[in-house]
């Protein structure tokens, strides 16, 4: 059976709790002087000195929350259940105001402490920030300055690299092609043309060694020896850049090298220390110094990543025995020195190989052994006296089509040459018009020769007048021919 709930009796009495303002006043008085009755263990509570001013909003909010409670009904609502009159029961008994106030007081006291702490923290922070913003004299520079750690001495390797750069910087010059002029674009930036590069001081007579392609624009006009082809900038001891006219001494397009001369004071010239590239090993450290993009002297560090590489230079020739390095070599580094960890020049930076046009690829340098052979001849003769046989050889693709897989095939043997006197046979045609292959040189002093380019690379190690022994294959037999090398007609 469903229970029926009867409405309260008309005689029920209601009492409304005090208003929020009255309750707040009671709570404040209670906080100051009252000891809660019925709770003898609860200590006497007193307000903080600033509670009336700082926590009045909190007390008022607590009072409103109490006043929003339901009105307490004090009266017995008589109800009958099953025909019987149930005993009087109040819907909500009136709590003792003192006991309720004590519990509320505890809760409010905790809230007061939290609110007071937050207020003090925010006040302190706001005063500190306002002091920084308004430049309050009470804030010191030391209070807002972080602790600076001392740099300390360099590591031995770092110190060594820095010393090498500082020492060899005075031996590296900037070379600007005299036939080119800087171009000013619409943004106001000066664009440096490709004729800008680097060079090294070779001796105290003013000779400067650089790449052929650095001054290639001027050399393409076939200047005479002694003509000005570039402007050379040298770093003085006091850090001042001094410019001089660079006069042509000699150039060798085959090895991408050129020598200029400047009329500079002897005390301004700091010759580079030349090392041996034949003793290099893959993995050893190297340093590249140059003047890329028209900036001041720049240093890049890397390792030697390969030896005896064929360099396809910007002059359009292939240079054998090149040094490969991962040190960043930009276009402006061309003609600058590649140094070992002792500060000796082991090569002349000449080109980069990259698919992006940046220095993120592989760098190459002409070995110092080649520079030591070419530069003195350019200074002495104005050209290179290169040793050779003065024979006409078949290009490697054509020799391969003629079934010559190994060796340099001789096409023509000019008269009055040492090779003609030694009896070397050229390629010709037989009575039936068929091709009769000439002699094929397969070795020079026991060094194997794979083709024409390989033969020229081997002959670079010899000088004019040196006597060599050629291993020649003629038909099915092998011969040895001894003859002196002549000055090559290049």
- Catalytic member of 171, 277, 334, 369: 334
pLDDT 10s per residue in the chain (490 long)? Answer: 444 444 444 444 444 545 555 555 555 555 554 444 444 444 444 444 444 444 445 445 544 544 444 433 334 334 444 444 444 444 444 444 455 555 565 666 666 667 666 666 565 555 555 555 555 567 777 778 888 888 888 888 899 999 999 889 999 999 988 766 555 555 554 444 456 789 999 999 999 999 998 888 888 888 999 999 999 999 887 778 889 999 999 999 888 999 999 999 998 999 999 999 988 999 999 999 987 655 678 888 999 999 988 887 665 667 878 999 988 887 778 899 999 999 999 999 987 655 555 555 688 999 999 999 899 999 999 988 888 898 999 888 888 888 888 999 999 999 888 999 999 999 988 777 788 899 999 999 999 998 888 888 888 888 888 999 999 999 888 999 999 999 887 5
Q: Find the helix packing angle between 20-33 and 56-67, rounded to 10°.
A: 120
Taken in order 417, 422, 424, 425, is the CA torsion positive or negative? Answer: positive
Is 256 part of the annotated catalytic residue set?
yes
The pLDDT score that the predictor gives to residue 90 is 44
Taken in order 384, 387, 389, 392, is the CA torsion positive or negative? Answer: negative
Fold (CATH) for 277-381: Thrombin, subunit H (2.40.10)
The residues of the chain that CATH labels 2.40.10.10 are 162-182+191-268, 277-381
Is 207 part of the annotated catalytic residue set?
no
The residues of the chain that CATH labels 2.30.42.10 are 387-487
The pLDDT score that the predictor gives to residue 173 is 92
The pLDDT score that the predictor gives to residue 71 is 37
Q: Are 32 and 109 in contact (CB under 8 A)?
A: no
Q: Where are the alpha helices (DSSP H) in 273-414?
A: 368-381, 396-401
Kind plus residue range of the DSSP H or E element containing 53: helix 51-54
Superfamily of domain 387-487 in the CATH hierarchy: PDZ domain (2.30.42.10)
188: left (phi over 0), alpha (psi -120 to 50) or beta: left
pTM of the shown model: 0.63
Q: What are phi and psi of 350, to 5 degrees?
A: -130, -30
The pLDDT score that the predictor gives to residue 88 is 46
The pLDDT score that the predictor gives to residue 362 is 81
Is 213 part of the annotated catalytic residue set?
yes
Q: Are 485 and 463 in contact (CB under 8 A)?
A: yes
* CATH of region 162-182+191-268: 2.40.10.10
- Catalytic member of 177, 252, 256, 340: 256
- Catalytic member of 207, 213, 297, 344: 213
Residues in the chain: 490
Strands 345-353 and 392-393: unpaired
């Amino acid at each position: 059976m469903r229970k029926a709930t009867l409405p309260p009796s008309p005689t029920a009495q209601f009492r409304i709790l005090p208003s929020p303002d009255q309750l707040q006043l009671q709570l404040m008085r209670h906080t100051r002087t009252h000891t809660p009755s019925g709770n003898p263990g609860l200590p006497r509570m007193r307000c903080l000195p600033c509670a009336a001013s700082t926590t009045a909003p909190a007390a008022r909010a607590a009072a409103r929350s109490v006043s929003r409670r339901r009105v307490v009904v004090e009266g017995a609502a008589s109800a009958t259940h099953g025909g019987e009159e149930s005993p009087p029961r109040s819907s909500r008994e009136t709590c003792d105001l003192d006991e309720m106030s004590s519990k509320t007081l505890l809760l409010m006291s905790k809230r007061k402490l939290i609110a007071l702490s937050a207020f003090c923290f925010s006040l302190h922070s706001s005063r500190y920030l306002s002091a920084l913003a308004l430049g309050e004299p009470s804030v010191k520079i030391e209070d807002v300055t972080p602790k600076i750690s001392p740099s300390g001495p360099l590591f031995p390797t770092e110190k060594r690299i820095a010393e090498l750069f500082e020492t060899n910087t005075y031996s590296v010059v900037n070379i600007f092609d005299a036939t080119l002029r800087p171009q000013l674009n619409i943004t106001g930036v000066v664009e440096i043309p490709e004729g800008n590069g680097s060079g090294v001081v070779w001796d105290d007579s003013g000779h400067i060694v650089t790449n052929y392609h650095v001054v290639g624009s001027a050399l393409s006009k076939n200047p005479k020896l002694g003509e000005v082809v570039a402007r050379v900038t040298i770093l003085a001891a006091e850090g001042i850049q001094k410019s001089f006219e660079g006069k042509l001494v000699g150039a060798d397009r085959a090895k991408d090298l050129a020598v200029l001369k400047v009329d500079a004071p002897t005390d301004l010239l700091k010759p580079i220390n030349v090392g041996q590239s034949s003793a290099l090993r893959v993995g050893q450290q190297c340093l590249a110094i140059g003047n890329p993009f028209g900036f001041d002297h720049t240093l890049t560090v890397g390792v030697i990543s390969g030896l005896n590489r064929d360099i396809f230079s910007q002059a359009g020739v292939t240079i054998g025995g090149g040094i490969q390095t991962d040190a960043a070599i930009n276009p402006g580094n061309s003609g600058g020195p590649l140094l070992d960890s002792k500060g000796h020049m082991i090569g002349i930076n000449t080109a980069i190989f990259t698919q992006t046009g940046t220095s993120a690829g592989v760098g190459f340098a002409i070995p110092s052994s080649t520079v030591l052979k070419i530069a003195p001849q350019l200074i002495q003769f104005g050209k290179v006296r290169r040793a050779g046989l003065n024979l006409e050889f078949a290009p490697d693709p054509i020799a391969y089509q003629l079934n010559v897989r190994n060796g340099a095939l001789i096409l023509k043997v000019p008269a009055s040459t040492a090779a003609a006197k030694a009896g070397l046979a050229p390629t010709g045609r037989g009575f039936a018009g068929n091709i009769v292959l000439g002699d094929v040189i397969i070795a020079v002093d026991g060094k194997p020769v794979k083709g024409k380019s390989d033969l020229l690379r081997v002959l670079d190690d010899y000088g004019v007048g040196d006597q060599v022994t050629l291993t020649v294959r003629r038909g099915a037999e092998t011969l040895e021919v001894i003859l002196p090398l002549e000055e090559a007609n290049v």
